[in-house]
Structure 1
């Protein structure tokens, strides 16, 4: 793909990874992704903002073939998908200086073996002149690494945001043309990568709000030529407001847990509580992460394997603990054959979730009328908590 102009003198160099389906050997990429670098041509100097993943270094270098000289290469984030091709760029342009944050310096040297003498640290708020254009650097730590920063060109009201506001989406569209599609991809990206850092993201958004920009150019996905779209989405996702929703990951070995889960779904639905259930045997873990962004309650459904929860439940509990969603309530339902410590072990897996446990229902063998009565009580407790809580939106009636 050829470089395309997004502002006069600013070109987007998008390396689209159509076939990639897994990121960091962990995160599903159902729609692929892109690695966006940006070439900023001033009257007296030229800068390249970020590079590309090593897998697409040849594509990046091909798009830079017609560039005679680069004076500055900006590394906003040291992770391989943005910085992996930096050594190739520095070799191609031997006089270029690599600009980065203070914390990025050692990372770039150790992770990529960038020569120390090529690196120049820029301070938070520092500016570098390209003649008629200026690069101003804004430290935005923990979106999602400690060394990350954004780059702002005030003359063009353009913000290069790196991973901030990004979306894993392989597309030929330079700008956002399908807001619904980009919204889901950006929410998935936020849920899987950014959600643990909600508090500091709020501070970084406040910091960026002091800038006057009409375009956000992220390092993944299309450019936002109407930035309010993604800014408002982020403000919603990081807000304390939760929805009248339950996220219910579960797995069943011989049917007992599934029977309990389905009865609970019916009971909650009858009380006006929305439920998103995920069978962990076939789950898209990214969809589960998206559901956790807004939900008020997490209910885990598990059979017992060797006294503890099913291994898939271990995994999803650990994941929820790492992502730190803004949940307020939790519950556990499950079954066992002869003995179980599943409830105690699940509780031990989620210390980061500051939730009120509204109930547990653990059944030996097949559920019976008594089991279903307990589940009805649990559903009632969840609905009452949702409708009584001012932080939960979408609660249209009292219980």
Structure 2
């Protein structure tokens, strides 16, 4: 993981995973250095990752008071239970549905769960965090939040984009990406991650983007995009165009066999 400080209040722990045929997808976690420190998501669930060790280079895990899971997909929950053991005072911020989904794999200790719905706030000592439903999401338990002190918007999967360069995906700056390339990547990700967006009423969808325009965050901190500061209007224009983007159709079995043939010398595609 790479470490990147955003202002005084946020550290980004950047990671990335290769998606064949698409690029490198950023997978970020965040530390919000509030009076009651908040960890936002807990990384990939892969055996070669050690989330707790990476986090320990930024903050003593025992000091963590809140673990905000933007949703319970496995690329957001990899280090959750290790962190719960290392942070005995920490509580998991999620929804009723999110807690239920996670408990199908390993039950959460319910005395350490804090249920929060979009529109509700969490007091973390020196600021209030306001939960909201991002306009694009792939899991019904998704809740991002806005920090009124740092003016950072933690948007979960929304605004994500696969990128062609692994180093940029894991530790770069979204503002450094060519604008046309970034827009294309974000529209592709919207089609991959939120395919329902092509079926919605466009007027209602745009209404779901409007609260973020009114929020006017200085920084967009997406799990699947390098940190983006000072380009909020451009990113909002891109996600507003998602319903008109080309739908995504993934590779079929024949395409998979062709890819495997390319990976394994001497293997022929059917």
Q: Same fold (TM over 0.5)?
A: yes
Structure number, greater radius of gyration: 1
Matched, 1:221 2:225: yes
Structure 1: distance between partners of 2:196 and 2:16: 27
1:168 deviation in Å?
2.6
1:142 deviation in Å?
6.7
Structure 1: distance between partners of 2:65 and 2:105: 23
Structure 2: distance between partners of 1:187 and 1:40: 28
Are the counterparts in 1 of residues 157 and 223 from structure 2 also a CA contact under 8 Å?
A: yes
Structure 2: distance between partners of 1:84 and 1:9: 24
Aligned to 1:342: none
Choose from 230, 234, 238 the match for 1:233.
238
Aligned to 1:62: 53
Aligned to 1:175: 174
Aligned to 1:194: 194
Q: TM-score, normalised by structure 2?
A: 0.78
Deviates more, 1:213-222 or 1:180-189: 180-189
Structure 2: distance between partners of 1:201 and 1:114: 34
1:141 deviation in Å?
7.8
Bigger proportion of residues as strand: 1
1:56 deviation in Å?
6.5
SS in structure 2 opposite 1:103?
helix
SS in structure 2 opposite 1:221?
coil
Structure 2: distance between partners of 1:112 and 1:49: 20
Q: TM-score, normalised by structure 1?
A: 0.54
CA separation of 1:222/1:142 partners in 2, compared to 1, >3 Å: closer, same or farther?
Answer: closer
Aligned to 1:5: 5
Matched, 1:160 2:154: yes
1:139-190 deviations in Å (ceiling 9; x for gaps): 3487111111111101111100010111133323133312233222222211
1:115 deviation in Å?
2.0
Deviates more, 1:77-86 or 1:167-176: 167-176
Alignment of structure 1 residues 210-359 onto 2, 5 Å = 210-225=214-229, 226-238=231-243
1:29 deviation in Å?
5.1
Aligned to 2:184: 184
1:330-356 deviations in Å (ceiling 9; x for gaps): xxxxxxxxxxxxxxxxxxxxxxxxxxx
Aligned to 1:50: 41
Structure 1: distance between partners of 2:136 and 2:24: 24
1:223 deviation in Å?
1.7
Deviates more, 1:110-119 or 1:97-106: 110-119
CA separation of 1:282/1:58 partners in 2, compared to 1, >3 Å: closer, same or farther?
Answer: closer
Are the counterparts in 1 of residues 161 and 182 from structure 2 also a CA contact under 8 Å?
A: yes
Are the counterparts in 1 of residues 134 and 155 from structure 2 also a CA contact under 8 Å?
A: no
1:101-149 deviations in Å (ceiling 9; x for gaps): 2321211222343222221101322222223332111134871111111
The answer for unaligned runs of 5 or more in structure 1 is: 22-27, 250-277, 284-399
Aligned to 1:149: 143
Deviates more, 1:205-214 or 1:86-95: 205-214
Structure 1: distance between partners of 2:215 and 2:78: 29
Structure 2: distance between partners of 1:56 and 1:125: 36
Q: Alignment length, in residue pairs? A: 240
Matched, 1:36 2:28: yes
Aligned to 2:96: 102
Instruction: List structure 1 segments (4+ residues) > 4 angstroms apart after TM superposition.
Output: 280-283
Structure 1: distance between partners of 2:235 and 2:31: 23
Matched, 1:136 2:135: no
Structure 1: distance between partners of 2:101 and 2:147: 25
Are the counterparts in 1 of residues 159 and 225 from structure 2 also a CA contact under 8 Å?
A: no
1:10 deviation in Å?
0.8
1:204 deviation in Å?
2.8
Structure 2: distance between partners of 1:92 and 1:15: 21
